[in-house]
Amino acid sequence: MTTTATTSATTRTKPAPASGTPPFGRALCAMITPFTPSGALDTAGAGRLADRLVSEGCDGLVLSGTTGESPTTTDAEKAALVRAVREAVGNRASIVAGVGTSDTRHTVELARQAEKAGADGVLVVTPYYSRPPQDAVEAHFLEVADASGLPVMLYDIPGRTGTRVEPDTLLRLAEHPRVVAVKDCSYDFLGAQRVLARTDLAYYAGCDEHNLALYAVGGAGYVSTVANAVPHRLRAVLDAFDAGDTARAARLQQQATGLIARMMSADLPGAVTAKGLLNTLGLPAGPVRAPLRPADRETTDGLLAEYEHLTAP
């Protein structure tokens, strides 16, 4: 990208969501990346799955995140996935492309690639393994935000990266015109509320058990792994809350707890459990890539039982 283009992007003002609408929607799915039986990227399956998710209540799709097995997909596959999903859903949903890596230079390249492929925003995780200090974390995010014209969703998941994005760091990052959102997997509910109270960042629950709780204190919605299987049921929680029926919202959230626990607290990554359930349901998913291993029969039977219980008439 030329210096002129970069400077022009940097001077943009932060977009003001109309009528309080979150920048990427409310109900976002952290979509799995479908593979063929041989392990190749299944762009046709990705299109079918994306269409189903949007038709059943998702107004945003997050691609190539943790659940999307981003560490094991190539740069070319990431771009092809964005293009396939954009073709399938058109403008019916926002597309946020995961571009985070442990290398700032590589992350910048992926952000520019995502913009060219048609994404509406980028998801940028804290650099992992090297465990940079907070000033380096901040500099990393700012360099990525300056690299393209796309709005940025920061991804705070210290349990996987080894490094927290501290609330004070988030407060400073919120001043950047294209840092507009946070996917929060910090398990620091007080810290999230501190940032919510002092910025206009759109906070998305990244842990399904927090979907309603974070929304109730001003969060924007969720980026959900469980939505791969039950997008309509999770969307109904937000719809009930927005309609003022908080008791119904709480009841719907509680009803989903069994499936949430099975998918997210089974000592297995969400990509494994989500694909295990979707394969059982005959939906596009396919195998996981090594080093992940597929869910065993006992796990998939338990997932299916919870799914059937939740979706029973």
Domain residues of the chain, as ranges?
23-243
pLDDT at site 14: 39
CA–CA separation, 262 and 274 (whole Å): 10
pLDDT value for 266: 67
Of 142, 22, 42, 176, nearest in space to 94 by CA: 22
Q: Which of these is catalytic: 78, 183, 215, 307?
A: 183
Question: Residue 7: what pLDDT?
Answer: 33
The confidence score (pLDDT) of residue 265 equals 77
Is the Cβ–Cβ distance between 41 and 81 less than 8 Å? yes
DSSP character string of 137-185: HHHHHHHHHHHSSS-EEEEE-HHHHS----HHHHHHHTTSTTEEEEEE-
Query: Is 307 an active-site residue?
Result: no
User: What distance in Å separates the CA atoms of residue 53 and residue 56, rounded to the nearest whole number?
Assistant: 5
With CA atoms as reference, report the closest residue to 253 among 286, 208, 308, 206: 208
- The arrangement of secondary structure in 23-243, i.e. its CATH architecture, is Alpha-Beta Barrel (3.20)
- The residues, ordered by sequence, that sit 6+ positions from 176 with a Cβ below 8 Å of its Cβ are 14, 141, 142, 145, 152
Q: Tokens 């901040």 appear where?
A: 138
Residue 153 pLDDT: 98
User: Given this model, what pLDDT does residue 118 score?
Assistant: 98
Asked whether the beta carbons of 26 and 231 are under 8 A apart, the reply is: no
Compute mean pLDDT per 10 residues along the chain, 313 residues long, and list them: 34 42 96 98 98 98 98 98 98 98 98 98 96 98 98 96 97 98 97 97 97 98 98 98 98 98 90 98 98 96 98 94
What is the 8-class DSSP label of residue 65?
A: S
Long-range contact pairs involving 244-249 (C-beta distance under 8 Å, separation at least 24): 246/216, 249/212
**116 counts as catalytic:** no
CB 85 within 8 A of CB 95: yes
Cβ atoms of 45 and 34 within 8 Å: the answer is yes
Catalytic residue among 155, 203, 215, 222: 155
